[in-house]
Amino acid sequence: MSTLREIQRAVARSIRSPDNGEALRHIADDMIAAADRLAIYRNNAAATLVGALRIAYPAVEKLVGAEFFEGAASIFIAQHPPRTAYLNDYGAELADFLGAFPAAAELAYLPDVARLEWAVSVALNAPDVPALAPAALVGLAASEHDRVRFVPHPSVRLLSLHYQADVIWRAVLGGDDAALAAIDLTGEPLWLVVHRGSEGVAVRRLTQEEARLTAMLCSGSALSEAMPERDSAVFVALLADHLAQGRFAAFATCDPDRAANGHGD
Amino acid sequence: MSVASAPTERVPGPIPALAGIGLRFPHHQAVIERRPAVAWFEVHSENYMGGGAPLRYLEAIRSDYPLSLHGVGLSLGRVDGLDADHLDRIVRLAARIEPGLVSEHLSWSISDGDYLGDLLPLPLTEEALDVVCDNVDRFQQALGRQILVENPSSYLRYRHSTIAESEFLVVVARRTGCGILCDVNNIFVSAANHGLDAHAYLAALPPAEVKELHLAGHTVKQLSDGAELRIDDHGSHVEPAVWALFRQAVLRFGARPTLIEWDSNIPALDVLVEQADQASVILLQPHESRTNVDAA
């Protein structure tokens, strides 16, 4: 007799692939055919998983249409089945999948829109962690400033893109056809920081230099490492914005020697 | 130091033996603004495992109503034991929400680590019984409390099954100390799909173990060969035949917390309140002395 594991494997395979009838021999075939019975689960499962992707990628769906989205999502699901029942965590690989999906090749900007939507989804669902209040830094001695390292808020995501994904995303979700028609679809580098602040999820453009500095700060570099000449107006304004918007969750002052030598943890 | 640790005023946690509503995202705002006369709410645990707006709504609603956490993703029939990360997410949510009840399904949804996206029935065998009991034990230990296990709706049965589903549930309850969540619509749907007797199913469940009832709508799917399957889509009013079975359940078990579930084509909140009121009328009718025995 088959073990529970064997039966579950056979049913799982048959649910993922309609051509796979391996499970049928385990299923009672009475007044209704076993294949019809199994098909109900296959349809339910597909609806649930496509639905989860639809929630995370509304602009991608609007750009390609519901039918195309469902077809692409079904192939994606077969290639990347969820490894968790917490479906807010499901779908991270869709942008790369779309980038390699021949049927979407003409929409070169589509993967970047998906990258932005995934960052927004991650920010929406990130754990509740209080933002670092700028006042917490007030008591630091000037000599300690070099050694400050920040911990980014768990909702923060940095994106380095090739298309104007933020403009496309806003125009698509806002149903703004005039804005959509005016979008420059030729490639141009774009850097974004996404996070969830007190007013909800925010998407902000960064310059290349701001993106470089933000990446260093968010990876735990000490201030002295991120910006040896910290009096740069760009850096001061950027740091002030990150603090004011709540993009950091905490800070620590690291060992002076290590900061001076520029070694990260 | 975290916001989550801030003390909040809580109403008493226990879920009363009245009708509640399955709370879904479209009704968050209406519930907070209108404070409908509903005895309690139940939510899907998986919808509140992240931070942000959903959890804020849930905490606001929790300060006015008892809440029940109903899981759809833990996979009590998983042969590799429970997913530690998923279990941890539920435990943390329960610590934050302090629910009156915590429940999951007699089903499996994960095979070799892949989540399938639906609640699948188990082959009802001694092997499956051991797997489910081990997982229920671990779940209850992690939570430090009793859970309820719900009978699933099912569209297929396995050739190997040797135990009736009602009996399987009763043994799980006896072995692990868990309670039974009796979904009346699921019994109706499964009985119709397999040519079984729904009343015999109810009669096999011991009233003392049944701690909650569920009600929902379902649809009938016509297959190409003319046969029918009843689909538990939670997308319509409770059917008259299911209300009749619910009356039988209340007569047998006594008044129990009873949930109206509606998950697809979600209507206005008033429609759910009206369905809950119908359930409450039945729950509040004088019924057999069994209730009094249970309460004593």
Taking the Cβ of residue A250 and every Cβ of chain B, the question of whether any pair is shorter than 8 Å is answered with no
The number of C-beta contacts closer than 8 angstroms across A and B is 146
Using CA atoms, how far apart are residues A155 and A127, in angstroms rounded to an integer? 8
User: Hey, where are the domains in chain B?
Assistant: 18-288
Single-letter code of the amino acid located at B221: K
pLDDT of residue B296: 35
Interface residue A17 vs chain B (CB under 8 A): no
CB B117 within 8 A of CB A49: yes
Name the residue of chain B whose CA is nearest to A30's CA: B194
Contacts of A44 in chain B (CB under 8 A): 117-118
Q: How far is CA A40 from the centre of its chain?
A: 31
Q: Does B155 touch chain A (CB under 8 A)?
A: yes
Nearest to A9 among B72, B83, B111 (CB): B111
- Please report the residues numbered 172 through 201 in chain B whose beta carbons come closer than 8 angstroms to any beta carbon of chain A: 193-195
Q: What are phi and psi of A202, to 5 degrees?
A: -120, 140
Q: Which residues of B touch A34 (CB under 8 A)?
A: 156
Within 10 A of A164 (CB to CB), how many other CB atoms are there? 20
Q: What is the pLDDT of residue A183?
A: 86
Residues in contact with B250: Cβ distance below 8 Å, sequence separation at least 6, in sequence order: B213, B256, B282, B283, B285, B287
Enumerate the residues of chain A whose CB falls inside 8 A of the CB of residue B53. 124, 200
Percentage helix, strand, coil for chain A under 3-state DSSP, each rounded to 5 = 55, 10, 30
Residue A39: count other Cβ atoms within 10 Å of its Cβ: 19
Nearest CA in chain B to A15: B116
Long-range contacts of range A80-83, CB-CB < 8 Å, 24 or more positions apart?
A81/A16, A81/B114, A81/B115, A81/B116, A82/A49, A82/A52, A82/B114, A82/B115, A82/B117, A83/B113, A83/B114, A83/B115
Q: Which of B3, B46, B156 sits opposite A38 (nearest CB)?
A: B156
Q: State which residues of chain B have pLDDT below 70.
A: 1-12, 287-296
Architecture of domain B18-288: Alpha-Beta Barrel (3.20)
CATH number of A128-265: 3.90.930
Query: What pLDDT sits at residue A263?
Result: 38
Q: What is the ipTM of this complex?
A: 0.91
Q: What is the pLDDT of residue A231?
A: 67
Chain B neighbours among A 199-218 (CB < 8 Å)?
200
On chain A, the residues whose CB falls within 8 A of the CB of B97 are: none
Segment A195-218, tens digit of pLDDT: 999 999 999 999 999 999 999 999
What is the reported pLDDT for A18?
A: 80
Outline which parts of chain A fall under CATH 3.90.930: 128-265
Q: Which residues of chain A have pLDDT under 50?
A: 259-265
d(CA B120, CA B123) in angstroms, rounded, equals 10
Cβ pair B110:A85 closer than 8 A: yes
User: What size, in residues, is chain A?
Assistant: 265
